[in-house]
Amino acid sequence: MFAKVRSVAVVGMDARPVDVEIDLGQGLPDFHVVGLPGTAVKEAPRRVRAAINNSGNSFPLRRVTASLAPGDLRKDGVLFDLPLAVGVLAAAGEKFSALDRYGLVGELTQDGRLRPNRGAQAAAKSPRDQGWEGLVVPMANLPEAGLVSGLRVVGVSHLRDAIAFLKGAAPPPEPKRQTVDELLSGSAYCGPDLSEVRGQAQALRALEIAAAGNHNVLLVGPPGCGKTMMARRLPGILPPLTEPEALEATRVWSVAGMLAPEQALVVERPFRAPHHHASAAAIIGGGSYLPRPGEISLAHRGVLFLDELPLFSRPVLEALRQPLEEGSVRVVRQATRIEYPASFCLVAAANPCLCPGGGGVSAQCVCPPGRLDSYRSKLSGPLLDRIDLQVEVPRLTPEELFDLEPAEPSAVVRDRVILARAFRARRLEAGPDALSVGDLGPAARQVLRRAAGAVDASARGVDRVVRVARSIADLNASEEICEQHLAEALQYRRPVWGAP
């Protein structure tokens, strides 16, 4: 006997429709899954057999062959357990009136309960685009999958509930679901505040400019000067997530399996701070079968903080160049090519050298020349060219720590950043964001020409100076990039890394 059940395979940020075809044939009782299944899918027959037997049904003593079509698409994960179980029962003679209208996803425990899956939001988008009436998901995934509009999403907690619904019974009662607007409006930033920082006016100004224009920042200073402290406070001055941004970030975190239980939406700007021993696959994304998102994608629409930047491996540092330029990363494996979003604000921190004093106020660098050159050569010119704001962060004396006034609260700076971004949005209503040297005023253009010629700046470097100047102008609500805006932008291109 034969039965077909609809399901989806999560591949990267998207999901593709999969037909789970079940055939009950003659021969010794067995259960095979074909169609490029991953390890978790190959183990599904054991879970499915136990779940059916422990849910008041009987697993057929027949030769069961399950084909996941299309056969040339790799399938990974545990979300095929539920469609396999329902397909076996349908092939064995059970009548399901709603089977041709609903798709099914979900991992089964051996007693028939349904566990949450990663990628629930992506899994719900594919049925909507395919015109299906609805999707049956584990109850724990209902808040997340239910955020996808235009699709009926039914949550079930047990295989028995799924069977009853597909036979025509009313769906199980579900908890009250919130919309994206309700989830975002109910969130409030409660992280560390800028007012805890003393001094470091130039570094704080650089972070404000970075927040206004989504620029990358490099903080160079001796240990204990406050680099990490300031970087961790950058999310607090970024604007709240918009609905599209929150949905994008949620899809990434869900595909990576990083959403907390019962969490429906990422409501705060992500902040990721991987250790410098992390591998390229951990930072960029990868995996042996289907590549998973890396740290740069988990930081999408938020902040990626790389402390001790020169201690990261050279392959990791060079792999950052393409995502910093394009805002996405393409991970290629054999017969698989997946693109993940990676639009983040990079904040990198580095010590001037490796000696204990780190070149601070009370200690001069005593590193041997060879060791110092090797340390400073870890950051290549093309990588530094992609970092818009480079700031030297001095170590404060004890007197300064006590005497200097606290910095402005994060809420005050965030309000200025929001106004700057709103000003930029109004300015761009008439056309795309196509900045060029021609957007400068005459005096600013002369300043840029002299500065670029003096330091032999690349075309990318000139473009990034103009973009930083544009962000400064937006903070000042200025339609034109004036001379003072460009002069401030140029000071952040001074080489603070590798300078004696």
Q: Are residues 200 and 297 in the same domain?
A: yes
Cα torsion at 30, 31, 35, 36 (round to 10°)? -100
Residue 312's alpha-carbon distances to 213, 260, 276, 291, in angstroms, are 26, 29, 5, 21
pLDDT at 500 over 50: no
Q: Are residues 403 and 481 in the same domain?
A: no
Q: How many domains does the chain have?
A: 3
Q: Which of 126, 147, 166 is the last residue of a domain?
A: 166
Q: Which residue has the higher pLDDT, 414 or 497?
A: 414
Residue 177 lies in a domain: no
Q: What is the per-residue pLDDT for 180?
A: 85
Q: Are residues 57 and 100 in the same domain?
A: yes
pLDDT at 347 over 90: yes
Q: What is the per-residue pLDDT for 435?
A: 53
Q: In the numeric block, which tokens belong to residue 389? A: 């704001």
Round the average pLDDT of the chain to a whole number and report it: 88
Is the CB of residue 117 less than 8 Å from the CB of residue 79? Answer: yes
Q: How would residue 304 be classed by pLDDT, with cut points 50, 70 and 90? A: very high
Q: Are residues 397 and 278 in the same domain?
A: yes
Q: Are residues 237 and 331 in the same domain?
A: yes
DSSP string, 99-126: TTTEEE--EEPTTSBEE--TTHHHHHHH
pLDDT at 458 over 80: no
Q: What is the per-residue pLDDT for 361?
A: 44
Is the CB of residue 31 less than 8 Å from the CB of residue 53? Answer: no
Q: How would residue 23 be classed by pLDDT, with cut points 50, 70 and 90? A: very high
Q: Are residues 219 and 351 in the same domain?
A: yes
Q: Specify the amino acid at residue 276.
A: H
Residue 175 lies in a domain: no
Question: Taking Cα atoms as reference points, which of 127, 140, 125, 77 lies closest to residue 101?
Answer: 127
pLDDT at 136 over 80: yes
Residues forming a β-bridge with 138: 156
Greatest pairwise CA separation for the chain in angstroms: 86
Residue 422 lies in a domain: no
C-alpha to C-alpha distance for 349 and 310, rounded to whole angstroms: 9
Q: What is the per-residue pLDDT for 432?
A: 54
Q: For 412-445, write each residue's pLDDT tens digit.
A: 999 999 999 999 888 877 665 555 444 677 777 7
Residue 257 lies in a domain: yes
Residue 176 lies in a domain: no
pLDDT at 22 over 60: yes
CATH of the domain at 73: 3.30.230.10
Residue 417 lies in a domain: no
pLDDT at 284 over 90: yes
Q: For 68-94, write each residue's pLDDT tens digit.
A: 999 988 888 899 999 999 999 999 999
Task: Look at residue 57 and give its three-state secondary structure.
Answer: coil
Q: Are residues 320 and 467 in the same domain?
A: no
C-alpha to C-alpha distance for 330 and 158, rounded to whole angstroms: 38
Range 246-250 contact pairs with CB under 8 angstroms and sequence separation of 24 or more: 246/180, 246/183, 246/184, 246/301, 247/121, 247/147, 247/180, 248/300, 248/301, 248/341, 249/300, 249/301, 249/302, 250/121, 250/144, 250/147
Q: Specify the amino acid at residue 469.
A: A
Q: Are residues 153 and 213 in the same domain?
A: no
Residue 186 lies in a domain: no
Q: Are residues 372 and 279 in the same domain?
A: yes
Q: Are residues 78 and 145 in the same domain?
A: yes
Q: How would residue 358 be classed by pLDDT, with cut points 50, 70 and 90? A: low
Helices (H) then strands (E): counts for the chain = 21, 18
Residue 418 lies in a domain: no
CATH of the domain at 336: 3.40.50.300
Q: For 223-263, write each residue's pLDDT tens digit.
A: 888 899 999 999 999 999 999 999 999 999 999 989 887 78
Give the domain range for residue 478. Answer: 432-500
Q: Are residues 458 and 313 in the same domain?
A: no
Q: In the numeric block, which tokens belong to residue 242? A: 């918009």
Q: Which residue has the higher pLDDT, 398 or 26?
A: 26
